[in-house]
Amino acid sequence: MAVVRKIRKGLHDVLAHEPAIRLSGAVDDAFLGRFLEQLKPLRGSVGPLIFELSTSGGDADVARRVAEEIRLCQEVGGMDLYFVGKAMVYSAGVMIMAAFPVRKRYLSRDTVLLIHEWQIEKEIRFSGALRVCTGSAHDFLAELEVARKLENQTFTDLVRGTRLSMEQLSARLLKADWYLLADEAAQLELVAGLV
């Protein structure tokens, strides 16, 4: 019992610190720039660091870039990063959250998550020889296939170590986008706790 209390106190101490990285707004190129700027002086830090996020979502490719940097900081750089989502962590924000192991994910009690399948908006126009048009169609299908694989990897990272299986998540997302309150996320063990 004393060990459990010590662990809880240690987490409370970590989460009581000011965030080392604090980001809000749309996940776009400017967001990536702010993230990298805040991250730069922290490289090589030994102690636990808080990454705070509030976002209405945005560009999936930018979110993947941020998530990959977080993964490298943890796995290669040895940084001890904790995620704290506040108010809203929608779409691309969930992709970023998935880069953190469950035991290092936290939400404020008022946070809402939005989980949905990746979306694409692209107009395709065919013009020219059939051979050229066929090649363009194959290129687009290849792009979609790669995107599906990346989406699957992100969702796998999101549910790893939780009470939610990939099958359950897929079935839920077939119905509609999923708005998830913080306490529901905690019950599913998508996060380690609420702050």
Q: Is 25 left (phi over 0), alpha (psi -120 to 50) or beta?
A: left
Higher pLDDT, 143 or 31: 31
For 72-127, give the DSSP string. HHHHTS--EEEEEEEEEEETHHHHHHTTS-GGGEEE-TT-EEEE------------
Is the sign of the CA dihedral 151, 156, 163, 101 positive or negative?
negative
Place of tokens 């989460």: 15
Q: Which CATH number fits domain 2-194: 3.90.226.10, 1.10.1040.50, 3.40.50.300, 3.30.450.70?
A: 3.90.226.10
pLDDT digits (tens, 9 = 90+) for 58-90: 999 999 999 999 999 999 988 999 999 999 999
State pLDDT tens for residues 130-139.
887 788 888 8
Please state the pTM of the whole predicted model. 0.84
**Mean pLDDT for the chain overall:** 87
DSSP 29-42: HHHHHHHHHHHGGG
Among 5-14, 69-78, 123-132, top mean pLDDT goes to 69-78
- The full set of domain ranges for the chain reads 2-194
